[in-house]
Amino acid sequence: MPDISQPQRAAGITLHGAFSPEQQCTFEHVPFEVPDGVNQLLIDVTYNDRIDSSPRQQGGNTLDIGLFDHRGTASRGPGFRGWSGSVQTRIVVGADWSIPPYRAGKPEAGIWNLLFGPYKIGPNGLRWEASIWFNPGIATPESQPVPEISTLHRPALPPAAEPNWYRGDLHMHTIYSDGSGTPTDVAVIATEAGLDFFGITDHNRAQSPVGRVPQGEGWPVLVPGVEVTTYAGHFNVWGTDTWYEFREPTSEGLQRAVNEALADGGTVSLNHPKPFGPEWEYPEVTGFHTIEAWNGWWAVFNAASLDWWHRQLANGAGLPMIGGSDMHKHRSTGAPERPLEPARIGFPTTWVNVEGDLTAELILAAVREGRTFLSESPSGPQLFDISTGDEIRLHITQAKGHALLLIGPEGVIRAGGIVEDDVIKRVMKADIRKALGDVQGAAFVRPEIHAVGGAVRALGQAIWL
């Protein structure tokens, strides 16, 4: 990150404003004029009583910030230059370089708009000031070198016990939203974690991560995405190269955004429906391909997300589930037994079944079709559904000393210990149907692997009867 604390400040303008408590979680566009002959902008925003964006912190102010250029503020339009949320209050936009997550390009003359979203407003109200300088003379930083793949240490993980299965993590963040690492940093740690693929899903990003990570022989496959981050919940879209409207946190606004992502061919996931996830406020919104039932450390309210998915299954909505670390601190060394530490890449790991060359398109097809399972970590238990027509068959490895639970619409159907390192558990579907009895609604079971003490270590998809 370059030093922009003491720029050569040319003539500029200063804007002022305020938000009252009833304006919390709304948006305001603040226009300003860029004159001719500008090659670089510096925007510095300050406000009172600033606190962190974590939903668990209250009593002060959190201001989200974005920027639109002279082409306007239209939904999905080309004028969107970036969204930094509340993680930074200083913006540099230049012809050849911009501070992430803002898009570079010459600041053309015309009316630009700051976008302010007062996510939290404390009892004193939120008073803001925006100072804007033209041509401040900030030097372009040197580009980050890409390490040779041969210099990285890829761990010796237990191999997949079934063919054509691959490990990955599809939900994480970089400096192009509120993460600590560059896209290259994330590619490096994905490699060092032993992952075969990884997804970058920066919040409301204005530019794709494609072309910003090393790819090729030895590097894990990038699955590009965006986390559409609204004040009524979040959802991921993978496989498209645009941004989606996040300024309309209503049932109608969210449904329009989901529909647009689907029309673009995106794979769409409803994210972390759990306390402080944040929760998803509009369950009537439809169209999702999958639900994120495990986000970050299992102990951090993921039982609520799992229950949310389970209730959708019981009501006949046969969506598969997915997981993701939601990593922001790329060098986190946290562990499941320390769930208050930042999330770590690959916790949990999403396994996908792909035949042929591993590509982003085939990975997303596996996600949509539910050819996936979740494990606590890259070295955690493996839980393969190899069921036949009349028999449920689960191939389980790396889970000796744990318990396998089969869970139906109304609760646990069967439970038993796992006493071998590599085992196939079998049960006839007719016996499961009999155990379910006169169940109301959809008939299914889904497998979970639990450690001593109750922590979930692996989740399988629903097996429909």
Residue 317's pLDDT is: 85
256-264 long-range Cβ contacts below 8 angstroms, 24+ apart: 257/228, 257/230, 258/285, 258/286, 258/287, 258/288, 259/287, 260/76, 261/228, 261/237, 262/287, 264/237, 264/240
Smallest Cα–Cα separation from 75: which of 244, 206, 205? 244
**Was domain 149-380 assigned CATH 3.20.20.140?**
yes
Residues 378, 189: Cα–Cα separation, whole Å: 13
Give every CB contact of residue 97 below 8 A, 6+ residues apart in sequence. 104, 140, 141
CATH label, 382-465, candidates 2.60.40.10, 3.90.1150.10, 3.10.105.10, 3.30.70.1060: 2.60.40.10
Does the structural domain 12-134 have CATH classification 3.90.1150.10?
A: no
8 A C-beta contact, residue 160 and residue 312: no
For 237, list phi and psi in degrees, rounded to 5. Answer: -130, 125
3-state SS, one letter per residue, for 86-154: CCCCEEEEECCCECCCCCCCCCCCEEEEEEEEEEECCCCCEEEEEEEEECCCCCCCCCCCCCCHHHCCC
Query: What is the phi-psi region of residue 441: left when phi exceeds 0, alpha when psi lies from -120 to 50, beta otherwise?
Result: left
Contact 377, 195 (CB under 8 A): no
The domain segmentation of the chain, as residue ranges, is 12-134, 149-380, 382-465
Q: How confident is the model at residue 438, as a pLDDT?
A: 79
State both tokens at 395: 């191939």
Phi-psi group of 248: left, alpha or beta (phi > 0 → left; psi -120 to 50 → alpha; rest → beta):
beta
Backbone φ and ψ for 80, nearest 5 degrees, come out as: -70, 115
Q: What is the torsion angle, in degrees rounded to the nearest 10, for the CA atoms of residue 322, residue 326, residue 330 and residue 333?
A: -80
Per-residue pLDDT 10s for the chain (465 aa) are: 334 444 444 458 999 999 999 999 999 999 999 999 999 999 999 999 999 998 888 999 999 999 999 999 999 999 999 999 999 999 999 999 999 999 999 999 999 999 999 999 999 999 999 999 999 999 999 888 999 999 999 999 999 999 999 999 999 999 999 999 999 999 999 999 999 999 999 999 999 999 999 999 899 999 999 999 999 999 999 999 999 999 999 999 999 999 999 999 999 999 999 999 999 999 999 999 999 999 999 999 999 999 999 999 998 888 999 999 999 999 999 999 999 999 999 999 999 999 999 999 999 999 999 999 999 999 999 999 999 989 999 999 999 999 999 999 999 999 999 999 999 999 999 999 898 887 766 789 999 999 999 899 999 999 998
pLDDT of 6: 44
How much is the pTM? 0.94
